A and B are shown apart, each in its own frame.
Chain A
Amino acid sequence: MLLHATGLEKTYATRATAFRRASRVAAVAGVDISLAEGGALGLVGESGCGKSTLARLLLRLIPLSAGRILFEGRDITALPEAALRPLRARMQLIHQNPSAALDPRLSVAEVVAEPLRIHGHDPRGRVASLLAEVGLPGDFLHRYPHELSGGQKQRVCIARALALAPRLLILDEPTSALDVSVQAQVLELLAGLRAQRGLAFLFISHNLAVVRQVCEQVAVMYLGRVVEQGPVDAVLGNPRHPYTQALLASVPRLGAAGVVVVGEAPNPAAPPPGCPFHPRCATAQEACRNGPPPALRNGVACHLAQ
């Protein structure tokens, strides 16, 4: 396993103010993630479900509340930042908004050379070939981010992430800030890079269709938990959890309106008792309302689906 994480938790403590008592918000509440060398796992869910927090936990960009992370078989859970730095070369992140992910004051060449310099490599010659690999011609070297289109900026970000020859790419909504015609180009590029370099993807997206294109495995998150997990065709083609079913039904199809599911995701600071989805679930029963939240078994966390 390239990446193997168990029991990941992230709770934020909100501070007490004159008007509000202190509370604890569980952004990620007990998630296991496994990703094989060269594999592609999609992470889907609506805003606030904890998928971006999970990505940052795995990269050790924010401190864990509980859990254990093995990367390339090595326990990185408690590694200090300095010991983590050399490892960062092999696990990279692509942001949602490429405009914000590029320092506005650095040229394309400087952006792509930056990680090479940090790790003590000579960037000369490498930068142009990295740009060529992401489909940008050499005359982009001396341009600045504000002179590029969204798709071009995302290509620069991908080149920067590839500079250190990573094994794992965590992509946090990499195409949701892009136009569809450009999204398809970037997805093609990513698929090609993955095949050539044998990269593993953790692909975070709210767009189920994109995940189905890119990934072999998928995990569906709701309120900090994985509620369903498995091969994409099984989960998205034949969903078992009522939430996954709701999510799939809501997607507007060309030619057919989406099906309407009631309610909205609850505030993570005040999650409902029992199964977190029960207030919106059409099939909820007594056990769903009062029992403990269902655990993930056989790829689905639902009292009724098991």
Chain B
Amino acid sequence: MGRKFRLALWLLSRSFASMLGIALVVSIVTLALIGPWIVPYPDHVAGGIDLANKLQPPSAAHWFGTDEVGLDILTRVIIGARVSLLVGVAITLSAAAIGVPLGILAGLLGGPVREAIMRLTDLFLSVPGLVLAIALVAALGAGIVNAMIALILVWWPGYVRLAESKALSIRSEPYIEAARVAGASTARILWRHVLPNSLSPLIVKMSMDIGQAILAVASLGFLGLGARPPTPEWGAMISIARGYLPEWWWYAIFPGAFIYAAVLGFNLLGDGLRDILDPKSNRG
């Protein structure tokens, strides 16, 4: 195990992009974890009004400035990391939990089961994801929980596709035939051989999807369909800040920069993971 870990580090360290991805993701996760204890103005998290300090430019007291009701933007951006990360991870995990079992079943069993699953998947994939999500939120009502439900509903088909193609290629591997010759049942083959060997590309996709989900939630927030103020959500913050551009630029810039950093970080991490998890690069 020690060797594997060192090999992973070595592969990552060869790529500046992967290292940057890790640095960004680790920083954002750290901020999300310890946020409530390090923010300079903890009482600004839940909202409130301090009109005397509204729209202050960045200063020693307010590193990122303040917003239109005088709340500290640094505080709200840090707490926003918590919201975005939680929502991004929850969406990705739920979508994978729905999509992966369906995809592996489709790939392994084939026939009418596969047809049914894949056509349903096609149905969902034929509508642009964000548009479908907007329609769903419009039907369910705006709010962060409904935004998450809508995004999970548009997200799972991607996992079906990936898991199915992976299961399909693994199904024809001789070691699956060897398991059948040994008398293994379909369930055992699935659990012991197909699933563990399909994980690598799924993990890569999940890493990249967390970034995309953060972006999607921010988009819904921006459109007023996701988190509502005063919840400190990056998209919702930009939505309001838009009205204060370009004069009060710091209001939009800092939440925007955090969205950018988070999405970039998870994408680069995904690329790095692909290199590590590729069994070919294991030969070193």
Contact = CB atoms under 8 A, between A and B. Distances in A.
B177 interface: yes
Contacts of A59: 181
20 contacts: A61-B181, A85-B185, A88-B183, A89-B183, A93-B178, A93-B181, A97-B174, A101-B174, A101-B177, A102-B178, A103-B197, A104-B197, A104-B279, A105-B197, A114-B182, A115-B182, A118-B185, A119-B183, A146-B282, A161-B181
Contact of A103 (B181, B188, B193, B282): B193
Nearest to B279: A104
Interface string B175-209: 10111111111001000110011000000000000
A89 B180 CA distance: 11
Interface string A163-185: 11000000000000000000000
Interface in B57-113: none
A102 B181 contact: no
Contact of A85 (B177, B183, B192, B197): B183
B182 A160 contact: yes
**Size band of the interface chain A makes with B:** 20 to 34
Nearest to B197: A105
Given A95-B177, A104-B197, 12 more contacts: A85-B183, A88-B181, A88-B183, A95-B178, A101-B174, A101-B178, A103-B192, A103-B196, A115-B182, A118-B184, A119-B183, A146-B279
Contacts of A100: 173-175
Interface in A85-115: 85-86, 88-89, 91-93, 95, 97, 100-105, 114-115
Nearest to B193: A103
Interface string A107-136: 000000011001100000000000000000
A62 B223 CA distance: 55
A183 B179 CA distance: 25
A157 interface: yes
Contacts of A101: 174-175, 177-178
Most chain A CB within 10 A, of B175, B179, B282, is at B175
B183 A86 contact: yes
A86 B183 CA distance: 7
Interface of B is mostly: helix
B283 interface: yes
A114 B196 CA distance: 15
Interface string A58-69: 010100000000
Interface residues of B, number: 20
A91 B175 CA distance: 16
Most chain A CB within 10 A, of B182, B193, B283, is at B182
Nearest to B179: A114
A95 B188 CA distance: 21
Contacts of A115: 182-183
B187 to A, nearest CB: 11
A107 to B, nearest CB: 12
A162 B189 CA distance: 20
B278 to A, nearest CB: 12
Given A105-B197, A146-B283, A61 B183 contact: no
Nearest to B188: A118
Contacts of A97: 174
Nearest to A157: B178
Nearest to B172: A100
B218 to A, nearest CB: 37
B174 A95 contact: yes
Contacts of A161: 181
A174 to B, nearest CB: 12
B196 A105 contact: yes
Contacts of A114: 179, 182, 184, 192
B282 A61 contact: no
A103 B177 CA distance: 11
Most chain A CB within 10 A, of B177, B180, B181, is at B181
Nearest to B177: A61
Contacts of A61: 177, 180-181
Contacts of B177: 61, 93, 95, 101
B8 to A, nearest CB: 15
Contacts of A88: 180-183
Nearest to B180: A61
Nearest to A82: B185
B81 to A, nearest CB: 35
A38 to B, nearest CB: 21
B175 A103 contact: yes
A102 B181 CA distance: 13
Nearest to A62: B177
B182 A164 contact: yes
A92 B182 CA distance: 7
Nearest to A96: B174
A114 B55 CA distance: 67
A105 B188 CA distance: 15
A134 B192 CA distance: 25
Contact of B182 (A104, A105, A118, A146): A118
Contacts of A92: 181-182
Most chain A CB within 10 A, of B183, B192, B193, B197, is at B183
Most chain B CB within 10 A, of A59, A103, A164, is at A103
Interface in A211-245: none
A118 B175 contact: no
A101 B193 CA distance: 12
Most chain B CB within 10 A, of A91, A102, A118, A160, is at A118
